[in-house]
Chains A and B, each alone.
Chain A
Amino acid sequence: MNIIPLIEAPFNVPLKIIEITGGVGVRRRLLTMGFNRGDVLELDSRAILNGPLIVRNVTHGTRTAIGRGVAFRILVFRADEAK
């Protein structure tokens, strides 16, 4: 199982959140917006010049733009390879 920050993850594959690191403020915000351990995410696209990512939360059916700094703190692994 290869744990990587969301920012380095490939597009359009299921990614499972294993941990959210960083400051309390960001962690709480992500939690309340529906980013929990175990949720499955998929990366949709990324803006130019290292801009934010569009992250699809497959578990909840939401879509969120997440800045680079925040995406660095969400640790995930590839759910399709874990099997």
Chain B
Amino acid sequence: MKQNNLPNVVFVGQPNCGKSTLFNSIAGLKAETSNFPGTSVSHTYSRVNVFGTLFNIVDLPGTYSLCPQDPAERVALGHILSEKPDVIVNVIDASTLSRELRLTLELLELGYPMVVVLNMMDVAERKGIRIDSERLSAILGVPMVETVALHGRGIKEFLDKVVELFNNPVRPLHLAWSQEVEDKISELVAAVPPELSAPPGRRFTSIKLLETGGFYCSRFLAEFEPELDAALKRISRELSERRGMPVYEVIAAERHHLAMKIFENTTSILCGKHLTLENRIDSVLMHPILGYPILLLVFLSAFFLIFKVGSPIESLFMNPLEKLRLLTASSLGQGFAFHTLDGLLQGIGGGVVVVLPYFIPLVFLMSILDDAGYTARAGFLLDVFMHRMGLHGKSVAPFILGFGCNVPAIMATRILESNRDRIITSLLVPFIPCSARTTIILALVAFYLGPFFAFGFYAINIAVVGLLGFLISRFFKGPSPGLILEIPELRRPVFISIFKKVWLQLSVFIKFAWPLLIAGSIVLSLLTWAGATPLINKILSPLVAYALGLPQELGVTLVFGFLRRELSLVMMLQALGIDYQNLLTVITKEQILVFTVFVNFFIPCFSTLAVLWKEIGKKWALVSAGLSVGVAVTLSLLVRLVF
């Protein structure tokens, strides 16, 4: 993973500690910050020049401990063990110091040179928490710096400490636990053969073996290291018998007690000062009754705003795009060259028409809500409804992202702990109308049938997602593990952090989704060039003409539309040989509705399918495609019957 021989500086911290904000302020436009625990799912790299020394800096996903519980946390530990960092930067939310110290103690066990950053000092001060950081630094035996990363406070001092530590690396000492536990650990250390030890050393290896019960390697141990296996089992049993709790709880309790002792020795809390305004706002936002109309209002106004912003911008692009097409046609004729170029241009243009007017404003608003801490609150409010779908509140964040583009939404399912939840959420995300589908719904349903139909369309769409979730989760054994979701403090969103988030989402779209859109668009153009369209239309006519009651010419648009979904409207007009204003002269409103329903629910676009394949495997990607065909056919038939 390391691309060069530069020294490695690795950022580690618990979710919501402001680690990514600190990282971003040093790295430039490369990482995402999030309020939703652990959304920076893949680790982000950057090369930075700090006072003349080049460093490779790495932002790991937020992790509560080094015993990973979800895929994102596994990335964190895996990276530390494989890369042997030169400096570890442990970022701490100073306002919840006592809890965050536990991870710090775990990191000390690794024995790598480490800087501790007490971040969010402003929040801690407002909460009345006073930390004697010099004393804390002395107890932990590592350099320490106070920062407010959001406002750039303390960044220079922080960089100074990193360079200083890199030039004079000091390996921290681990802090001792209670004697009886230490004795047992020493016994186990003696039984660990040096060649079997993880890079940080035998003590670290022994502790991890105890904590995981040798879970990851129990078979290996039993077969090849019977002595170590026997020692591990005996010591685990003795410890858990003596303390009356499983051995991982013994270790956790040791760290907890040590952390609490250090916390009490270095921190004083001035009473009477509370975040009263924030608390009052919060009690309304998360009110069991008031919370819901507010939630509805927030999302409705977001969509209304996007509608108001998006449509005018989109119409600015539509005409030049059509003119460009006519121009290429007049200069190149109707041959292979024209169709290839036309496919390319339409693919690029289609992307622009979706990205600028809808995708960017949507992601922008979602990032504001996320940065302010609202996504976690929405997760709390919607947990009840998610439960009916066999999921819980944590899945709300990917769903919300899905309204922008399904691709990053499916990537965001990595924050879910259980594989079961990941698969169900990933299967449902493609049914969330993304910005490309929003354009179609707005252009066809809202324009020809009125805004109420468009609202109805959305409402029914969300109901369909709910129903599908309810049905799909029946096929998965075992219940969802249940909601444990940290609610971060409400924060005022900061523009630069939002800008970076939009940039990250946009870069996923540009790097992953767009090239596939363009490729699909070219394939479709070449189909026309090869004269395959009438044939395909004929083959599809039983479905298109008889079952759905649509003009036969729409066959290719409907079925291969997923190759170029964002241009379904343009393709429809081309297939029918009519312009937008005169659409009603060739098809009825009922047909428009059937068409929109089918296009909206049919096979997730090419890029979504590809990311599903990559994230949850071939089998589930195919299940998703099959599911969407079924849903699209059923729903459009239903619509035809009802109207």
Contact = CB atoms under 8 A, between A and B. Distances in A.
Interface of A: 24-34, 36-37, 44-52, 54, 57, 59-70
Nearest to A31: B252
**On chain B, which size bracket covers the interface?**
35 or more
Contacts of A46: 288
B569 interface: no
Contact of A65 (B69, B252, B393): B393
A43 B53 CA distance: 50
Contacts of A64: 484-487
A50 B483 CA distance: 13
20 contacts: A27-B249, A28-B67, A29-B69, A31-B249, A31-B252, A34-B96, A34-B99, A36-B253, A47-B286, A49-B384, A51-B384, A52-B380, A54-B286, A57-B99, A61-B127, A61-B129, A62-B486, A63-B487, A64-B485, A70-B482
Nearest to A68: B482
A33 B260 CA distance: 14
9 A-B pairs closest in CB distance: A67-B483, A34-B99, A51-B384, A60-B99, A32-B64, A32-B65, A65-B380, A67-B482, A69-B482
A11 B359 CA distance: 42
A65 B485 contact: yes
Contacts of B485: 52, 64-66
Given A30-B484, A64-B487, A59 B383 contact: no
Contacts of B487: 54, 63-65
Contacts of A63: 486-487
A28 B417 contact: no
A64 B417 CA distance: 16
Nearest to A22: B482
Nearest to A36: B256
A63 B486 CA distance: 6
A22 to B, nearest CB: 9
B202 interface: no
A83 to B, nearest CB: 19
B414 interface: no
Contact of A62 (B96, B286, B289, B379): B96
B574 interface: no
B248 A28 contact: yes
Chain A at the B interface: mostly helix, strand, loop or mixed? mixed
Given A45-B288, A65-B376, A33 B486 contact: yes
A67 B287 contact: no
Interface string B288-323: 110110000000000000000000000000000000
A25 B481 contact: yes
Contacts of B137: none
Nearest to B289: A48
A69 to B, nearest CB: 4
Given A29-B69, A29-B417, A66 B483 contact: yes
Given A33-B486, A36-B253, A52-B380, A47 B481 contact: no
Contacts of B479: 69
Interface in B56-103: 64-65, 67, 69, 95-96, 98-99, 102
Contacts of A45: 283, 286-288
Nearest to B379: A65
Contacts of A27: 249
For A29, A66, A67, the residue with the greatest tally of chain B CB atoms inside 10 Å of its CB is: A67
A28 B484 CA distance: 12
Contacts of A26: 481-482, 484
Interface in B242-296: 246, 248-249, 252-253, 256, 260, 283, 286-289, 291-292
Contacts of B393: 52, 65, 67
B392 interface: yes
Contacts of A34: 96, 98-99, 102
Given A28-B69, A32-B65, A51 B383 contact: yes
A27 B246 CA distance: 11
B481 A65 contact: no
A51 to B, nearest CB: 4
A46 B95 CA distance: 24
Contacts of A25: 69, 417, 481
B223 to A, nearest CB: 24
A67 B392 contact: yes
B381 interface: yes
A48 B484 contact: no
Nearest to A59: B98
A69 B256 CA distance: 25
B315 to A, nearest CB: 42
A27 B481 CA distance: 11
Contacts of A59: 98, 260
A33 B64 contact: yes
Given A32-B64, A48-B384, 18 more contacts: A24-B248, A26-B482, A26-B484, A28-B252, A31-B249, A34-B96, A45-B288, A47-B291, A47-B381, A54-B286, A61-B129, A62-B486, A63-B487, A65-B379, A65-B380, A66-B484, A69-B482, A70-B482
A75 to B, nearest CB: 14
A52 B286 contact: no
B456 to A, nearest CB: 24
Contact of A33 (B289, B381, B481, B484): B484
B288 A48 contact: yes
Interface string B99-120: 1001000000000000000000
Contacts of A48: 288-289, 292, 384
A33 B376 CA distance: 16
A30 B380 CA distance: 17
Contacts of A37: 253
Contacts of B129: 61
Contact of A70 (B67, B379, B417, B484): B484
B384 A47 contact: yes
Contacts of B96: 34, 60-62
A52 B485 CA distance: 10
A67 B484 CA distance: 6
A48 B295 CA distance: 14
Contacts of B249: 27, 31
B69 A61 contact: no
Among B65, B95, B99, B289, find the residue whose CB has the most chain A CB atoms closer than 10 A.
B99
A70 B485 CA distance: 11
Contacts of B482: 26, 66-70
A47 B381 CA distance: 6
Contacts of A62: 96, 99, 486
Contacts of A30: 484
B497 to A, nearest CB: 22
